[in-house]
Amino acid sequence: MSSDNLDAILSLAKRRGFIFPSSSIYGGFSSVYDYGPLGAELKNNIKKEWWRRVVQTNEDIVGVDSAILMSPKVWEASGHLSAGFADPLVECKKCHERFRSDKSREEGGAMGEKECPKCKGELTESRKFNLMMKTFVGPVEDDSAAAYLRAETAQGIFMNYKNVLDTSRVKVPFGIAQIGKAFRNEITPGNFIFRTREFEQMELEYFVKPEKAEQVFEYWKKERMKWYLDMGLKEENLRFRDHEKTELAHYARSATDIEYKFPFGWKEIEGIHDRGDWDLSNHAKHSGEELKYRDPDTGEEYYPYVIETSAGADRSVLVFLADSLERVSGGRTMTTESSRDEEIVLNIAANLAPIKVAILPLVKNKLEITSKARNIFEALKNNFMARYDEQGSIGRRYRRQDEIGTPYCVTVDFDSLSDNTVTLRDRKTMTQERIASDDIPKYLLCKLY
């Protein structure tokens, strides 16, 4: 995938209302983004499909929604306030730009360099820079009021481990899942929404007997890769990368990344980690709360090991846009119009598409046709994310829907007035078929779900 593809993604995202720079009327805010109408739908669909696969279809997994603000003691116990959760930082003595010293020049870092990659000034020695975002709770801004925006959603899950055990009738093995915002003061964010300081995570913490950890780790590796493939990503753009012992996080016994081949190279989109009993044992030690699991059948007591899957919702948006965006020759609309030599088509999986069906009256100056099209739209909108569009020629409207990934278009024409049928067009196959307008809901339910 070339860098041209990233330019095409950026252009599409802004032009069609997927993603905008945050605070754009003030010139934007570095590496922070807002999701527009189509972007919000796409991101929500990704989260829904993740939740469906991880929580809804697994009777031993439940969900929580924990607070962004937690006691600072949580982050002390988890190790996030120590050097273990810090990036190596260098600063230019001339322009005062800061860089991660473990990143290559291509990512804005200064690995192996003795001069600033921007102004050629001298760099300082590397020092640790903690990634936690600090704030204050209450009227006085002093150390006693210090708090932190959560750096990961996982700790909120561990805080509710005992609550879930006591209230949900689960027993090991079981999982707790969560989708939510997290914040990291990244030194070198970049590559659009790939690395930002505010992001959304989709995380599962699965609690198992220690002797089962390796087996469950392998299961979730395969299961999470299968999800991306089932969501329509191309297999050749995905791979596993096992972590070396020297690069493991402070809590991890082993770790594997699922990587995607972005225009800027192979990068992580999800991590699968064996966290051992690091979290529960440390929180038990620091809080004084008994967090060992007592097996109701055998009476055995132990700290469960935790197998974690952690995916970024924002990175997933970028992945699905990158993988499904295609350039095709003009005229694919199957009309006489072919005004452009090249067209952009978002061949995204139908269940992820922001708009599921577009209702298009053939002409907008014939009341009988527009009224019938409106009636069809009204009948569909409660069950499907639908859009009514009468602006421009039918060929241009097809192209607009292709560009935003709409899988189906329903065209109401003059024949519709006499036989109550419509033309239903499939974006992926380009086939058009005539069906009764009353059959549209059944047709879409069969195709979409």
Residue 268 labelled as part of a binding site: yes
Residue 201 labelled as part of a binding site: yes
* Cα 205 to Cα 296: distance, rounded to the nearest angstrom: 21
DSSP string, 39-74: HHHHHHHHHHHHHIIIIIT-TTEEE----SEE-HHH
State which amino acid sits at residue 181.
K
Residue 158 labelled as part of a binding site: no
Residue 315 labelled as part of a binding site: yes
Residue 197 labelled as part of a binding site: yes
User: What 3-state class would DSSP assign to 276?
Assistant: strand
* Cα 297 to Cα 328: distance, rounded to the nearest angstrom: 61
DSSP string, 106-140: GGT--TT-SB-TTT-PBBPPPEEEE-PEEEE-SS-
Sequence-ordered list of residues with C-beta below 8 angstroms from that of 347, at least 6 positions apart, any chain = 324, 325, 326, 405, 427, 428
* Cα 124 to Cα 116: distance, rounded to the nearest angstrom: 10
Residue 202 labelled as part of a binding site: yes
Residue 200 labelled as part of a binding site: yes
Residue 338 labelled as part of a binding site: no
Residue 309 labelled as part of a binding site: yes
Residue 414 labelled as part of a binding site: no
Residue 433 labelled as part of a binding site: no
Residue 405 labelled as part of a binding site: no
Residue 311 labelled as part of a binding site: yes
State which amino acid sits at residue 241.
R
Contact between 43 and 56 under an 8 Å Cβ cutoff? The reply is: no
Residue 127 labelled as part of a binding site: no
Residue 313 labelled as part of a binding site: yes
Residue 308 labelled as part of a binding site: yes
Residue 150 labelled as part of a binding site: no
CA distances from 61 to 142, 164, 174, 207, 255 (A): 40, 11, 6, 10, 21
* Cα 422 to Cα 416: distance, rounded to the nearest angstrom: 6
| Residue stretches of the annotated binding site | 100, 152, 184-186, 194-203, 268-269, 308-315
Residues in the annotated binding site for ATP: 184-186, 194-199, 268-269, 312-315
Q: Which residues are annotated as a binding site for substrate?
A: 100, 152, 199-203, 308-312
